[in-house]
Amino acid sequence: MDLLHCHTSLLVLLFSTQITYGPFDPILHDKVQFPSLYQVAPKFSSLPWGMVRLMVHFGWTWVGLEVSDDMKGERFLLDLPREMVRNSVCAAFTKKIPSGKFNFYTAQEIYSSVMATSAAVMAAYGDAESLNLLRFVIESFGLSKMVLITTFHWDFTLSTTYETNSYDFHGTLTLANHAKEGPGFRDFLRTVKPAKYPEAIILKKFWESAFDCSFSLPEMNGRKCSENASLEIMPVHIFSLTMSALSYSVYNAVYAVAHGLQNLLLSNSNLKSLENGDCLVPHPWQLHEFLSKVQFDNPVGEPVFLDENYRSTAKFEILNFVISPNGTCELVKVREMDPQAPPDQDVFISEAIIMWPRGSSQAPRSRCSRSCGPRFRKHAQQGEAVCCYFCVRCPEGEISNQTDAEQCVKCHEDQYSNMERDGCLHKAVTFLSHKEPLGLIMVCMSLSFSLLTALVFEIFINLSFTLLLSLMLCFLCALTFIGQPTLASCLLRQMAFGIMFTVAVSSILAKTFTVVLAFRATSLGSRVRRWVGPRASTSTVLSCSLVQVTICMIWLGTAPPFLEVDVHSEPRLIIVECNEGSMTAFYCLLGYLGVLALVSFTVAFLARRLPDSFSEAKFITFGMLVFCIVRASFLPAYQSTKGKATVAVEISILASGAGLLSCIFIPKGYVILLRPDRNTREWLKRK
């Protein structure tokens, strides 16, 4: 009676405190509904991360999803797509598999949805019962073109038709809980035989089923079980010598219960004795209290906690289902994944030992679109998933040096993209140098006109001192435009040009007025004669030049020119140039000079009919006409050029000075140097 009482008490104990060794289930984690239930398996909450991380590792971005049509499948479909989007992986299709009985029409529908896609990888989630339909489709129709990613929740190796259709699962990758084999576990299984344990009735039944034999007298078509048979020769779908994740959980569960009972029994204050004292049995709630505190290292050296709050996220073992040429099957471990490891150390896979479907040694490609190599970026197709795109070559100034780049990267301002669009090169610094042909020509022209002006200046030193001096300085000002610009040259060149040309044009205006007034003075008497003289010419030059100087001073005081680096106009060059600062002031300078030129041209044109012997109005008219034409063509040319060409256009205004010098002084020089006989008072009077 006492023994019966002990057994009854133990049954009460077992029914009160429960330990599950199956896969971790978040629903059972609710302590309100299941206060005394413990799960030995580690948390598998990072399973979606593990499956997606495996896809990313092999570059699979176009993947089909098959999940069981139940609460677990719904929860999985909430977490997995979110993780896929985060890693730019797209679902080619999503199919829910109804659990329970199934028919051929449903199987055909699943097969059609799988075959209609270009995806070469399919992820399946669910337990063995809910995924029976998918297993039936694989074994009946064959899906050997696809890599199957599964979890240990679905043990497809237990298929009843395994021996004839197992090759359809060849190359499957399975994520399983991390498990370590206990010391002596494999050796023990090799020596297990019914003869060694004759009282183990369950072992005999398993032996007869596994080896298809009988320990009793053989019937007509039967055979007697061999005493020398070993579990080592069993196919993996019937029995495996390796410790699976499920076996490892049972292994830890047994040790956990043993540690809990040991801690309880060692505490005398928590024992309840029967009347005769022959059996010591604790209350059910007492074991629950001790189990919640169980913490130990199992025989393989790994920590075990029954309190789920202290357990870390599970590591994954990646298993590859392989069928060798001789027909033997095996789940080969190809390393593991650790969600808690750094990003570059979370996956360790020995790819060389993985066997893929159809006997391939290379991982299959599963993408909606081909990879975009360097020089290209991805461009999404409208109305399609983000994984379906076409490749677009990077534009000028941008590069891509990686595969499947989302965007091209712009080169730095002082760089440009090479022809291959996969690297940036440094831009060369450029400016109008006196060493290059264009700059050398401009220097020669400037110096030549300056020397020519100096020569004419020597001849007409007493006649046109101010005009010739200003023209010579205008030609020399062109040198400030050649060579690498500096802040000083930027401030000087435009204003010096403007002021010198203003002095030259105002001198011509003064000469024209002097000629006109000289002829008027002879006819109108002494009232006009007082305006003919050096004082009037000097006043005209100074007053006209003072206006231009005022414009330049305002320009310097408000927005002066400055040194600028242009990295955008030329893709491969850095242009060092002068920015004019205030374009309004710049155009005011040019505008005022144009007004003076038009006034001088108008006065000279009106005075062109005066006697040639004493009047140079015709020469001034032609000179000012050339000056105005060059100035009028300058503005559109200036606006339509960039870089060194702009500087060359600015220097080209030397032609206006050359026109003045040629039209006004060359005829006079011809007479003075080559025809001195005409340079006499008698010859002029006679003419």
Q: In this predicted structure, what is the pLDDT of residue 13?
A: 44
Residue 330 placed within a domain: no
Position 165 pLDDT exceeds 60 = no
Residue 228 — pLDDT band, cuts 50, 70, 90?
A: confident
Q: Is residue 272 part of a domain?
A: no
486 occurs within a structural domain: yes
Looking at residue 471, what is its pLDDT?
79
CB of 366 within 8 A of CB of 350?
no
Q: Are residues 656 and 517 in the same domain?
A: yes
Answer yes or no: do 150 and 17 share one domain: no
State pLDDT tens for residues 34-52.
Answer: 777 888 877 666 788 888 8
Residues 621 and 593 occupy one common structural domain: yes
Least confident of 150-159, 246-255, 620-629: 150-159
Rounded Cα distance between 238 and 20, Å, is: 23
pTM above 0.75, yes or no: no
Give dist(CA 171, CA 146) in Å, integer: 9
Q: Are residues 57 and 31 in the same domain?
A: no
Average pLDDT, the chain: 77
- Percent of the chain surpassing pLDDT 90: 2
Final residue in a domain of this structure, among 388, 403, 426: 426
Domain presence at residue 102:
yes
Question: Which range has highest mean pLDDT (227-241, 404-418, 433-447, 646-660)?
Answer: 404-418
**336 is a domain residue:** no
More confident residue, 272 or 658: 658
**pLDDT over 70, % of the chain:** 79
Task: Please indicate, yes or no, whether residues 397 and 521 belong to a single structural domain of this protein.
Answer: no
Domain boundary among 365, 394, 426: 426
Per-residue confidence (pLDDT) for residue 63, from 0 to 100: 92
Residue range 149-157: mean pLDDT, rounded: 76
Report which secondary-structure segment, H or E, holds 151: strand 147-151
Per-residue pLDDT band for 679 (boundaries 50, 70, 90) equals low
Q: What is the pLDDT of residues 12-31, one digit of tens each?
A: 444 467 788 777 777 777 77
Same-domain pairing of 451 and 511: yes
Using DSSP's 3-state secondary structure scheme, residue 566 falls into strand
Confidence class of residue 9 from pLDDT cuts 50, 70 and 90?
very low
Q: What CA–CA distances, in Å, run from 517 to 179, 464, 522, 527, 531?
A: 117, 17, 9, 11, 7
Tell whether 5 and 88 lie within a shared domain. Answer: no
Classify residue 519: in a domain, yes or no: yes
Q: List, for residues 58-92, the tens digit of each pLDDT value.
A: 889 899 998 888 888 888 888 888 889 888 898 98
- Structural domain count of the chain: 5
**Residues with Cβ within 8 Å of residue 560, at least 6 apart in sequence:** 491, 581, 582
In this predicted structure, the answer to whether residue 274 has a pLDDT above a threshold of 70 is no
pLDDT in tens, 195-223: 888 888 888 888 888 888 887 766 545 67
Q: Report helix, strand or coil for 316.
A: strand
Please report the pLDDT score of residue 503 as a whole number: 87
Same domain for 507 and 451: yes
Question: Is residue 306 domain-shared with residue 449, that is, in the same domain?
Answer: no
Domain annotation covers residue 271: no
- Is the pLDDT score of 394 beyond 50? yes
Residue 273 has pLDDT above 60, yes or no: no
Eight-state DSSP code of residue 313? B
User: Residue 297 burial (CB < 10 Å; 0-12/13-18/19+)?
Assistant: exposed
How far is Cα 622 from Cα 604, in angstroms, rounded to an integer?
9
Are residues 489 and 636 both part of a single domain?
yes
Residues 157 and 200 reside in one and the same domain: no
Does 332 fall in a domain?
Answer: no
**Residue 314 and residue 181: Cα distance in Å, rounded?**
17
* Gap between the Cα atoms of 353 and 321, Å rounded: 11
Position with higher pLDDT, 299 vs 685: 299
Mean per-residue pLDDT for 477-500? 82
Tokens representing 412 are 């730095």
Domain span holding position 386: 376-426
SS3 (DSSP) at 428: strand
Residue 367 dihedral angles phi and psi, to the nearest 5°: -140, 150
In sequence order, which residues have a C-beta less than 8 Å from that of residue 487 and are 6 or more positions away? 562, 563
Tokens representing 284?
């059910």
408 band by pLDDT with thresholds 50, 70 and 90? very high
More confidently predicted of 500 and 652? 500
Number of CB atoms found within 10 A of residue 560's CB:
17
Do 660 and 535 share a structural domain? yes
Q: Over the stretch 611-660, which tens digit does the pLDDT of each residue have?
A: 655 556 677 777 777 777 777 777 777 777 776 677 666 666 677 777 77
d(CA 367, CA 680) in angstroms, rounded, equals: 100
- 571: CATH: 1.20.1070
